[in-house]
Every structure is written in structure tokens, then in C-alpha cells.
């Protein structure tokens, strides 16, 4: 077996572990894995900045990241901290808009990344798998939005 197929198998296992793609068949996760990249990020590294072009999304395999937004006076404020299994950056990949927040590694991290170009390639080469991946991403974003709405309503 080649190094590439070992890497794709490892990425498949990471995608299965994150929970985001639980609704996909194992063969579809295997296909999708070929479009993801594995990245190691050092603590303190900016993964992307608010306002950047959204060219990729990530799934946090190991470590934690800080999601930050600039407030009215221009200071960066941590909105949330994400841990293993969470996807981030997917809004910009799906809608083509600029990044709505910044993301910084709070420790050494391992990330899976899916570029907009790789997603477009998947749509051309494996449209059924790509549609299921996009749907799983959208469902994950919808869950987070519903939770955020619930928190806003319950604030004193």
C-alpha cells in the first residue's frame, strides 16, 4: 500500500471520529478523505484572520483554537474556544464571503482542511459524495446556530 493510500485511510478515520460525517456511508467518507489535507499547526499561529478570503475550512483533530472577533474599538475578543472534533471556517467556504472571525491555535494542533478548490473538484468528480459532505457541514452549522439562538434568548 502506498504512503498516499495510508494517509487517505488515516484521514478517513479522523473524519469518522469527528462525528460531523456520521450520516455518510463509510465508502463516501473514504472518497471525501481524498480531498482533505492533514496540517500540523504550532501554538500561537493564526490559522486565518477576520476579513481574509475564505478559501478553506478545518476540522480540529487535536488541540484547541480560539475564535476571535474585533469589537467596536478594534480589540480582538475571544468568542469561543473550540476543541477536538469541531469544524470551523466552513461558512466562508460555502458562501464565498470573507472570514467573519479570526482563528488562532492555543496549543499545537492537528487539523484536517478542505479547500474551496478541493470541494469544487469533489463536486465535479464525486457529486453525490460532495452533496452529502456539504449537507453534513450545513447541518452542523444549523445545530450551532440553534444553540447560539437558545443562549441569546436565555441571557439575563
* C-alpha cell at position 57: 475550512
pLDDT band at 153 (very low <50, low <70, confident <90, very high): low
Mean of pLDDT over the chain = 90
Count H helices, E strands: the chain? Answer: 5, 8
Q: Give the tens place of pLDDT for each residue, 123-135.
A: 999 999 999 999 9
Q: Give the pLDDT confidence score for residue 151 in this predicted structure.
A: 61
Structural domains of the chain in order of their starting residue, each with its CATH number: 3-153 (2.60.120.10)
Q: Give the span between the Cα atoms of 15 and 32, in whole angstroms.
A: 9
Q: Three-class SS of residue 122? A: helix
* C-alpha cell at position 2: 502506498
Q: Give the tens place of pLDDT for each residue, 5-54.
A: 899 999 999 999 988 898 999 999 999 999 999 999 999 999 999 999 98
Which has more confidence, 96 or 125? 125
Amino acid at each position: 500500500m502506498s504512503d498516499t493510500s495510508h494517509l487517505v485511510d488515516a484521514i478517513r478515520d479522523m473524519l469518522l471520529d469527528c462525528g460531523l460525517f456520521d450520516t455518510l456511508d463509510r465508502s463516501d467518507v473514504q472518497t471525501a478523505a481524498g480531498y482533505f489535507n492533514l496540517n500540523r499547526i504550532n501554538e500561537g499561529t493564526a490559522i486565518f484572520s477576520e476579513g481574509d478570503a475564505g478559501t478553506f475550512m478545518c476540522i480540529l483533530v487535536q488541540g484547541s483554537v480560539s475564535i476571535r472577533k474585533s469589537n467596536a474599538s478594534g480589540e480582538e475578543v475571544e468568542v469561543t474556544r473550540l476543541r477536538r472534533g469541531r469544524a470551523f471556517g466552513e461558512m466562508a467556504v460555502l458562501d464565498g464571503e470573507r472570514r467573519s472571525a479570526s482563528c488562532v491555535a492555543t496549543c499545537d494542533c492537528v487539523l484536517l482542511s478542505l479547500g474551496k478548490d478541493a470541494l469544487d473538484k469533489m463536486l465535479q468528480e464525486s457529486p453525490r459524495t460532495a452533496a452529502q459532505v456539504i449537507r453534513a457541514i450545513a447541518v452542523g452549522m444549523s445545530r450551532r446556530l440553534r444553540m447560539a439562538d437558545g443562549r441569546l434568548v436565555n441571557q439575563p
